[in-house]
Structure 1
Amino acid sequence: MSTAHSSPQASKSAATTALKLGDLMVREGLLTMDGLHKALAIQKQSDEYLPLGRVCVDLKLISKQELQRFLSKYQKHIQIGELLVNMGLITQTQVQKILEMQKASSKRFGALLVQSGFISESQLTNALSIQLDIPRMIPSLELMDQRLLEGIDEETLRFNEFIPVDRSGNQMTVIMSDPLNSNLMQQLVDRFKCKIIPAIATPSEILSTIAEFFGPRRKGPEEVSLDQDLMLKETEQDKTKEEVSSMARFLVRSAVEEGASALHVECQENYVRVRLRKDGVMVHKTDLPVRVGPALIEMLKTAFRLKGGKYWQETITTHVANRKVDLSISFFQGLWGENLVVHILYAPSRMLIFDNLGFSPVNLSKINSYLERSGGMIITSSPIRSGKSTLMYACLLTLNQLHRSVLSLENHVHYTMPGVIQHHYKGDDPEAHEALVEAMAEYDSDVLMVDDIPSPQSADSLNRAALMGKKVITSHHAADTTALIYALVNSGCEALLHSPVPILLISQRLLRRLCEKCKVPYSPSEAELTGMKVMAGDRGAYQFYTAKGCKDCQNQGYTGQTAIHELLEITDEIHNAVLQKKSSTSIREMARRDSNMISMIEDGVFKASAGLTSLEEVRRVSLIHDSDSKSARSIKQIYTLCTSK
């Protein structure tokens, strides 16, 4: 196969004829100017970058088929610089600098961006994948049909930077570093005599996989012992069970090695998307050929002995990448097929210790004070998978002393705790749950932990236990502490709020920590802080940071997690307000005015001012209350409150 790199003249020609995507669509008659302006307005309003073509399809200005035909025709004329500027990855000044460099270079625009350090290989590749709607695939030997490499010499693969990974009938999926290279596309068609479906990866990823294939065969990776059925299950798909098993093992192992809390396998129209939830945020891992999806999902389901009609199944405990993990799954039917999530729970870590849960000094002092008291009640709240269970286990760990009897009632026992009598409740009968709570109260116990309140009857039983002098720890789903009050009242569980014992409500959100290697100083605007209901007059006295991205954080700008909290004590005044059925807004204003309650977003501003996270991350996870503007605090006031004990 001959070289497929474009000539300098061709590259320069493409650069000079490049037009903005919207202008090209208008010139082709796909859009009117009014339609273009409408789409651009929607694109500008979005918090994250949306490709213009996708916006036009969503607005029904064009069909998806029309967009695909248009992109296929004009791929080489689309300005990558415009895309990267819109995504906030580079500046217009940097675009102009690269265009000047390109006049004296044979290299493509993207290659010069990477060479100049303005953008990483991975960022460039991800941008091309988004704009051109081309799958972003990892060229791993464990995710491809290695037989397709037979008969192709190493030099051809390396020089042209491509790897064939899957063939089905008259079409082949090929990963390449430059899907805009029409010369290479034609040569692949001529060689394989079939339709070529392009996918994209970085040059370094492709070259690394080629070197691995042609180099000395290394010892295979550690096996993932999900279940023997995982290896033996016959599928009706034309993909062999060995190949699908290799994919399943690779994906689960990769998720654990990267510290993900979940692995998502999602069937799209033209490919299968694999994503990881890392530090609470969805991160793209790889795309796979569309026909792999059903077989892969069926194999993972079989490993859990999943039966029809159930959306989750029992946990598998196994060792992956030398780590003990519990795996469970859930699935949901979508338009293009079934989608599956593998949930990953790691063995207990130091994060169960209260001092490591990210509490500000004042909040840590307050919660320790409640834990040290005899009796009383702690009710936690947060959205799902926001650390609520970890918070309750940390309470148990503190209270689990030799002189105490500690019981727990849990829908899912996430961690086993020596010394605690833990009961795994599998049913969904409210009366049975109430009976178990009553039994816990009658038992000679000092501390009760019930991980959920399924009914008013169970709430009444917990209230009676608290009145008997037992320490009660429980939870309920709500966005923050004042929303928790509303949720308890609305679900008929307000008895918990009427108990004449000390009651502390805790709400928590997880957010990402800034990467210490690459975070950069940042000066927030007055509008940014006032929008968060914070007085901005003294913002210049505090150093804030924003995310950048580097190899240590996989270009995310963040690594690890911390938490922000909101604590509300049920005082006599708040108890009376609940009895009088006052609004949650009124109760919130009262708590901030009379008890100096620190809002979750203020706790986030405190941690951002300490360099732990960014204001952008705080806004991403926090609920902003307009009423908080009535008692807005300066950054200094927030800092003083949060550091007091």
Structure 2
Amino acid sequence: MKHILIKFEFNESMDKEKIDYDLYNIQGEIVYKRGQKIDSEFLEMLKNVNLYKKDTTIDESEQDIYKREKIAEYTRELLLLGIKKKASDIQIETSENRGQIRFLVNGVLHEEIKLEKNFTESLIDRLTKLANLSVIAEKYQKGSITISLFNRAVEFQFSSLSTTHGEKAILQIAGEKKERIPGLPELCFSHRIFSSLLPTIEKKRGLFFVIGPVQSGKTTTIYSLLKYLKECGKNIITVEESIKYQIPGVNQIQKKFVRNEGYNTFFYNLLNHNPDVAMLKSNNDKELIETALQAATNCNFIIESTSNQDTLQFLTDLINGINDPKFLGTTFTGILAQKLVRKICDHCKEESELSPKEIDKLFLWDEITKVTLYKGKGCPHCDNTGYLGYIPVYEQLIINDELQKLIIKRATVEEIQAQLKKNSFQDIKHDGMKKVLRGLTTLEEINAVSQKNKMVIM
């Protein structure tokens, strides 16, 4: 026979000097001892956090029912806490003896909650079932969970994998199902990139790639491009793992509804409906890219997303992986690569001057004697990190006649690099430095996402 926890209902009129019973959190850990004096901070916690008191006893069968109810309630509270903290990820993992939950907020991982190992395992099982996945599978699994919070539907991308000490799960907070799609001017494009991007995506034929690492904002960029093309009167079809945004007038299909013929065959048949634009995610699938190339030759403009991090490497892999490089050279229109960096918090932004040594290291012009940049001092709005939110940094490669010839002849990396230099190609660090000088982000953030050691401002 064991005690059960009954939710404690706080009443403003109750005696604020003491409470005549112990209070526990949902894991059964004591947070208040009977008779303890109540200070203002604890009063505030009573109003905002679910606490429990022990009551009666239950037998083993009732205990199982209670445990399931407890896990369900804790799951909801956890998801709610992640949203309140403005976390991008909730990470749940088990060690040899315990479990823990951590929140990724503004790019920084915070260790917040310690749990009993068996409770953590039950929590992951609950989330796995909500994502319609198998609780006994030992392979990597991925799904989505949509729940109602704050009277709105909120979507979480769920993934789990088995480790030596048990399951590890990650919840990516996708946000509201009907979140507003930003317009292209809101995506922090430089004038140089924006002025060449629009004519490229407005072409009636061709294959255009948006690339970048996982969680680099590619999906948002692609949806903004689709929104723009829809406003231009284009007939659009998409095939997506998960529909993050609903775009009025766009035919959006989830990959899980693709029939037994497979993704490639389904997509190819879909083109019989003669869309002006078709969007899909390739994951570097050679057969799928070949299918997209053929579609683009038939006047269907394809926007394709993949997870390669480097534009040059992606281009060379593409050239070497395609059966007919001439086919690629005449169809391929360009690449937009992007990564995310943390944005300086506007609430605590302050000026920061570079030292002469830093100026000399960063710039080639001897005449530059003073450079004022910005940083975040840290405040409650940004959890004292100095950063609040993210912005993308880009590099864009538009295929011109010279690059087309190099693609057709399967040019080497060195030949392509030489041509990019002639074309005055600007990499991600160049775009990042523009955003540093505009006071949007910091040098530390740009250096963290850049593989190169020095930036030249010309």
Whose Rg is larger?
A: 1
How is 1:297-312 mapped onto 2 (pairs within 5 angstroms)? 297-307=124-134, 308-309=136-137, 311-312=140-141
Deviation track 1:48-79 (CA, whole Å, cap 9, x = no partner) reads xxxxxxxxxxxxxxxxxxxxxxxxxxxxxxxx
Deviation track 1:236-285 (CA, whole Å, cap 9, x = no partner) reads 99994454444322221011123323211122345433222334x24215
CA contact (8 A) 1:477 1:484 kept: no
Match of 1:264 in 2: 91
Match of 1:154 in 2: 37
CA drift at 1:557: 0.8
Match of 2:445 in 1: 617
* Alignment partners' CA distance in 2, 1:244 and 1:455: 39
CA contact (8 A) 1:257 1:321 kept: no
How is 1:490-639 mapped onto 2 (pairs within 5 angstroms)? 490-492=320-322, 495=325, 498-501=328-331, 503-524=333-354, 535=364, 537=366, 540-591=369-420, 593-624=421-452, 633-634=456-457, 637=458
In the alignment, is residue 457 of structure 1 matched against residue 340 of structure 2?
A: no
Which secondary structure state, in structure 2, belongs to the residue aligned with residue 415 of structure 1?
Answer: coil
Higher relative contact order (CA 8 A, sep 6+): 2
Distance 1:610 1:538, change over 3 A: farther
Q: Aligned Cα RMSD in Å?
A: 3.4
* Alignment partners' CA distance in 1, 2:369 and 2:25: 52
Distance 1:453 1:331, change over 3 A: closer
**% same residue:** 22
In the alignment, is residue 211 of structure 1 matched against residue 43 of structure 2?
A: yes
CA contact (8 A) 1:510 1:564 kept: yes
CA contact (8 A) 1:485 1:584 kept: no
Deviation track 1:407-433 (CA, whole Å, cap 9, x = no partner) reads 112233222222111222238999733
CA drift at 1:143: 4.8
Deviation track 1:497-546 (CA, whole Å, cap 9, x = no partner) reads 724246121000011100122233333457767877x6364654442123
TM-score by length of 1: 0.59
CA drift at 1:587: 1.8
* Alignment partners' CA distance in 1, 2:73 and 2:144: 21
* Alignment partners' CA distance in 2, 1:497 and 1:604: 34
Distance 1:496 1:417, change over 3 A: farther
CA contact (8 A) 2:322 2:328 kept: no
CA contact (8 A) 1:607 1:613 kept: yes
CA drift at 1:330: 1.0
2:166 to 326, 337, 343: 337
* Alignment partners' CA distance in 2, 1:487 and 1:370: 22
Query: Which residue identity lines up with residue 154 of structure 1 in the other structure?
Result: K
Q: Please, which runs of 5 or more residues in structure 1 have no aligned partner?
A: 1-139, 159-206, 222-233, 638-645
TM-score by length of 2: 0.81
2:75 to 239, 244, 248: 248
CA contact (8 A) 2:379 2:385 kept: yes
CA contact (8 A) 2:283 2:307 kept: no
1:445 to 275, 281, 300: 275
How is 1:230-379 mapped onto 2 (pairs within 5 angstroms)? 240-269=67-96, 271-279=98-106, 281-291=107-117, 292-307=119-134, 308-309=136-137, 311-347=140-176, 348-379=178-209
How is 1:36-185 mapped onto 2 (pairs within 5 angstroms)? 142-145=25-28, 149-154=32-37
* Alignment partners' CA distance in 2, 1:462 and 1:314: 26
CA contact (8 A) 1:459 1:493 kept: no
In the alignment, is residue 382 of structure 1 matched against residue 212 of structure 2?
A: yes
Distance 1:606 1:442, change over 3 A: same
Distance 1:220 1:211, change over 3 A: closer
* Alignment partners' CA distance in 2, 1:493 and 1:515: 48
Please say which of residues 438-447 and 501-510 is displaced more in the overlay.
438-447
CA contact (8 A) 2:24 2:31 kept: no
CA drift at 1:549: 1.4
Higher helix content, 1 or 2 = 1
Deviation track 1:358-396 (CA, whole Å, cap 9, x = no partner) reads 211211122122233333331111001111121111111
CA drift at 1:496: 9.0
Match of 2:55 in 1: none
CA contact (8 A) 1:529 1:536 kept: no
CA contact (8 A) 2:93 2:99 kept: yes
Which secondary structure state, in structure 2, belongs to the residue aligned with residue 561 of structure 1?
Answer: strand
Distance 1:467 1:236, change over 3 A: farther
Which secondary structure state, in structure 2, belongs to the residue aligned with residue 603 of structure 1?
Answer: helix
In the alignment, is residue 482 of structure 1 matched against residue 312 of structure 2?
A: yes
CA drift at 1:468: 1.9
Q: Please, which runs of 5 or more residues in structure 2 have no aligned partner?
A: 1-22, 52-60
Query: How many residues align structurally?
Result: 423
Which aligned segments of 4 or more residues in structure 1 are displaced greater than 6 angstroms? 218-221, 234-239, 427-431, 529-532
CA drift at 1:338: 1.5
Which secondary structure state, in structure 2, belongs to the residue aligned with residue 426 of structure 1?
Answer: helix
CA contact (8 A) 1:430 1:454 kept: no
Which secondary structure state, in structure 1, belongs to the residue aligned with residue 256 of structure 2?
Answer: coil
Distance 1:489 1:331, change over 3 A: same
Query: Which residue identity lines up with residue 599 of structure 1 in the other structure?
Result: D
Higher strand content, 1 or 2 = 2
